Amino acid sequence: MFIRKAGIWPIVLIFFANNIPAQEFSMGIHFSPIATIPMMAKPPVTNHPYLKAKKYNINASAGINLNYRVNRLCLETGGNITTRSITFRLNLDEYSYNSIGSSSSVSSYNDIRSTGYAIGIPLQVGYLLDHHDAKTVYDFYGLLGASYEMHTTLAYAYGSSTSSQYGTTITNARNFYPGEGVKTNWFNIIAGFKINAILRRVGLIEYGLRYHFPLSHAGLYHVETLVSNGTYGSSFTGDFYPRLAYMDFHFTYYFLSFEKGTGRKRYRIN
């Protein structure tokens, strides 16, 4: 009975392979500059309102793309690795330093940046919105999907700087946790668009814009900073739980393509 049931599946696959037109499979490599956008999963807990996460950081992503097209649908998956970072900015012009009955302030800011990387496995479905076949050949797709990401932070971030104002030297030392090797995993929702085009003397490429929204945060980031004029100082701390969303400016070059009924396709045009 088991053998008879198992034997049905090859027949089903052969039926669909012979009755679904315009099947095409492509494999390529992609590189993307990305803008990492931290969003707080819950309100930060700080002892000063001017200790904040910077709005975005520029990072990068690279990996393998697998693309399968059937009629107006396009199924895309693969794997990628991205650098991911978050920067905390301290606006020192709002900080005061005790000086026995008086205070002094310094008009500047300092940034502290935490780096890390993430390995992601995306799965996206594209729907063909427009096909152009005049002087240039391209397809325009809307995209919706999800990805599973495994994020790892690198070493502790630490730094110090000095500033001078009104004859006073101000030292700012800062560091934050998490430390090296802290791992968090989450799912991203992906939405965007892509253009699949054939370029003369290049071949089949793909480019577009995708927004990745994480469903959970990247762990606890505990920030500490000590600002001192050499005699007196103030300590500022904050706890942050950021979601690391990002905009992906996606570019892919497909070096291998197969189409049902014709075999390997060669897109290079002189």
The pLDDT, as a whole number, for residue 161 is 61
Please, which pLDDT band fits residue 189 given cuts at 50, 70 and 90?
A: very high
Per-residue pLDDT at 229 exceeds 90: no
Q: Which residue, chain included where needed, has tokens 């009975």? A: 1
**Least confident piece of the model among 7-16, 31-40, 162-171:** 7-16
Q: What share of the chain is helix, strand, coil (3-state, %, to 5)?
A: 5, 70, 25
Please, which pLDDT band fits residue 248 given cuts at 50, 70 and 90?
A: very high
Phi, psi of 174 (to 5 degrees): -150, 155
DSSP, res 135: S
Distance CA 99, CA 212 (A): 48
Please, which pLDDT band fits residue 219 given cuts at 50, 70 and 90?
A: confident
Residues 6+ apart with CB under 8 A from 194: 126, 140, 141, 143, 206, 207, 208, 210, 250
24-264 domain in CATH 1.10.3470?
no
Per-residue pLDDT at 217 exceeds 50: yes
The pLDDT, as a whole number, for residue 20 is 47
7: left (phi over 0), alpha (psi -120 to 50) or beta: alpha
Which residue, 79, 76, 24, is CA-closest to 257? Answer: 24
DSSP, res 14: H
**Least confident piece of the model among 66-75, 170-179, 217-226:** 170-179
Mean pLDDT of 138-142: 91
Please, which pLDDT band fits residue 124 given cuts at 50, 70 and 90?
A: very high
Mean pLDDT of 245-270: 82
Per-position DSSP letters for 80-122, written without gaps between them: EEEEEEEEEEEEGGG--EE-SS-EE----EEEEEEEEEEEEEE
Mean pLDDT of 17-24: 59
Mean pLDDT of 213-226: 85
The pLDDT, as a whole number, for residue 181 is 58
Per-residue pLDDT at 166 exceeds 80: no
